[in-house]
Structure 1
């Protein structure tokens, strides 16, 4: 099977070129001026071609909570958003805390055949924070990283021993940074909007305390800690300190945390309820400055589908989280439009750096002999994100029904077209 992409504007993390791309079977065979015939030819004029996006933080709810999402529907949402590689978190039911569940997730994704799926194994059994999970067996089965995301590992001794074990098997800790005692069942950011609405607040320090602790555990153990969904200026200051010291730390931010502020909560719309919560204008500004500084390593969606009935309740009872796979491109391109980042940075944060962090040497670049994982994007197209476009089982997004700019048109996974915008 061969595929020829003509008139491409190819965006890599370090350069932009105009050329054709020839794909044979699952690999990029040639880049340049190509005249030979292919089984299918696609004219990419007016669009950009980028490496398939890598989302280091999704929730596919499979096994056990398939009424919200499953690996098939999650994969469909991913490729619709130009994402060809996903890391689903372990807070399934049962929890992915053993090799059997890890293998189940990988095998089901292969059967669906749309994306590469690398499970994130649990750090502790049942996400209870007490006893280490079967970390070595999960790593051998294909788990690429480890996290109790959704719950923090509050016991520092347990986290230390887990970090030593994970480091020993060549894994990465994905840190869900939240002091649950200080968060104290809050619902939104602890600030002026919490005071106005009467909703219980979660202080920024609940995130920052655990980031500070895990930085020190990284220092103690030499383990690579990757900080998930960083949302506050104070957290970024701590990560800057750790990087300046040379500790093995990286971090991600979610599009909603650089696109929205706590002011949205004046509407009491539960689609703006997420954890960590939307923060202040000052925090959003700090995130954008951190992009310019090069402090942030990648953008990940924290795609968190929920059934309508879990959002259509009193605010305090509503589930945390929003879907995000299909809004990743337009929200990140907004940063390009605002001149916070460049198109090359777009690729760095959504593909190149995640591939580098995870050790996926055949991903993250459009280059000869690399796996042909590509997204063809119309960065100027304006549209309404609605149920006709949404491929997730769930629709819990504050961007549903809103005008967005920039859309994925075609996704190629291992040389095969797995999504085309209709």
Structure 2
């Protein structure tokens, strides 16, 4: 479709390319869905004859975001979210590539289901959707899936989603198998036995609220084991979500020793802490739980340093029947696609992370990990672009979100930074409407 578009010139922009740390005034020229030129020399009227021009109004022009962790209900739980509604929420948040988790019904553990998701996304989604396939059959943690066949069918990573593979022998075999395909293994680093009945971070706040706590060791014990298995097998390993200072140190040591180990952090753990739970706000019951402020500051510092590789939305739609319950009975999960960038800009505004570094963790690095050609503004790359007013203030209204479910952790929060337009291969798929 993009091949029939005229050449397009995006000018009067603050170009931010996180892959090269370019941050300057200029423009981007696009032809047939691909970037052909970038720089300060591209101004209004500088394109070839017939060029369609987009005045960016001085706002940020950046590559679209790549979200490595989003839960989508289709197939099997379309009442929570569909590929169509998830993609609309993604576009509104500047996310041009979504990796959907395998926790569907049936789970994405066979090539035919990978194919179904890809076909369904092609027909209904307005952004790129790539499935992550299950690491074990039925997500049961016992029998490995056919990693080679699933990768051939289009799976970009292998994970059991919110379920940690607790059997070390199974994970060792998975890593050994995946190594031969250079496949990415993603594990949820949380020991279900140590979590037990816990529903929030273990500490004084949990005691005050009368809730069972989840110790940091539920995360670090699994992470430490996984890193040792990655060393043993030589596999590419990614810790889905880290949330505390101890985990940061484990990942730092692994990287310093040369292992193929990376990690992600949820936007929730970067921008919220356990105090935000307030009087039992169930939209903030999450896995991993929100930690204390010291841990939050530790993961922010690790992000700025580059120890943490990617930021994810951890988009997990839940309906009112699973959230309008006492805190200890509510389901884990929160929306994240639409507010991912706006929430991340809090860190830029506070001077804790630069804008190129934030965008690197939101686009360049995740694209590299799954081997897709996004996350950078350079000739030959796809024109998956976003125009962002980073100074636009607004209050989140869950009723205006594009997702089917409304469990946003930022409901009624004041955020700054709004995606004005989102383009896929140079084609406009979202434009902000003030009404």
For normalisation by structure 2, the TM-score amounts to: 0.94
Equivalent residue for 2:24, pick from 13, 17, 21: 17
Query: Which of 344, 363, 367 pairs up with 2:374?
Result: 363
Q: For 1:393, which of 404, 408, 413 is the aligned residue?
A: 404
Tell me the CA shift for residue 193 of structure 1.
1.2
Q: 1:46 maps to which residue?
A: 58
Question: In the alignment, what sits opposite 1:189?
Answer: 201
Q: Deviations over 1:316-340 (max 9, x none)?
A: 1111010001111111111111111
Counting only pairs closer than 5 Å after superposition, residues 304-383 of structure 1 correspond to structure 2 as 304-360=316-372, 362-383=373-394
Task: State yes or no: 1:297 paired with 2:302.
Answer: no
| Cα distance, 1:35 vs structure 2 | 4.0
Query: Under a length normalisation based on structure 1, what TM-score does the superposition of the two structures give?
Result: 0.97
Shift in alpha-carbon separation, 1:125–1:166, aligned structure 2, 3 A? same
In 2, the alpha carbon distance for the partners of 1:387 and 1:261 equals: 20
Q: For 1:214 and 1:75, locate their aligned partners in 2 and report how far apart those are by CA, in whole Å.
A: 32
Counterparts of 1:352 and 1:214, CA distance in 2: 25
Deviation per CA, 1:159-198, whole angstroms, max 9, x where unpaired? 0001111122221011100111111131111111111111
In the alignment, is residue 130 of structure 1 matched against residue 142 of structure 2?
Answer: yes
Partner of 2:105: 93
Relative distance call for 1:98 and 1:35 in structure 2 (3 A) is: closer
Correspondence 1:118 to 2:123: no
Q: 1:265 aligns with which of 274, 277, 298?
A: 277
Q: In structure 2, how many angstroms separate the alpha carbons of the residues matched to 1:265 and 1:58?
A: 22
- What does residue 220 of structure 2 align with? 208
Per-residue CA distance 1:197-227 (angstroms, 9 max, x = gap) = 1111111100111000000010000011111
Verify the 8 A CA contact 1:98 1:135 in the aligned structure 2. Answer: no
- How many residue pairs get aligned? The number is 421
Whether 2:418 is the aligned partner of 1:411: answer: no
Q: Distance in 2 between matches of 1:38 and 1:176?
A: 50
Post-superposition Cα deviations, 1:329-361, rounded to whole Å, max 9, x if no partner, equal 11111111111111111221111111122222x
Quote the Cα distance in structure 2 between the aligned partners of 1:402 and 1:338: 16
1:160-199 equivalent positions in 2, closer than 5 A: 160-199=172-211
CA contact (8 A) 1:4 1:38 kept: no
Over 3 Å counting, the alpha-carbon distance change for 1:318 and 1:38 in structure 2 is: farther
The alignment partner of 1:411 has SS state of: strand
> In angstroms, what is the RMSD of aligned CA positions?
1.3
- Select which of 5, 9, 12 maps to 1:4: 9
| Aligned counterpart, 2:432 | 421
Cα distance in 2 for partners of 1:159, 1:42 equals 49
Detail structure 1 runs of 4+ shifted over 6 Å in the superposition.
none
User: What secondary structure is seen at the aligned counterpart in 1 of 2:278?
Assistant: helix
1:108-154 Cα offsets, whole Å, 9 max, x none, are 11112411111111111111111112222211100010001111111
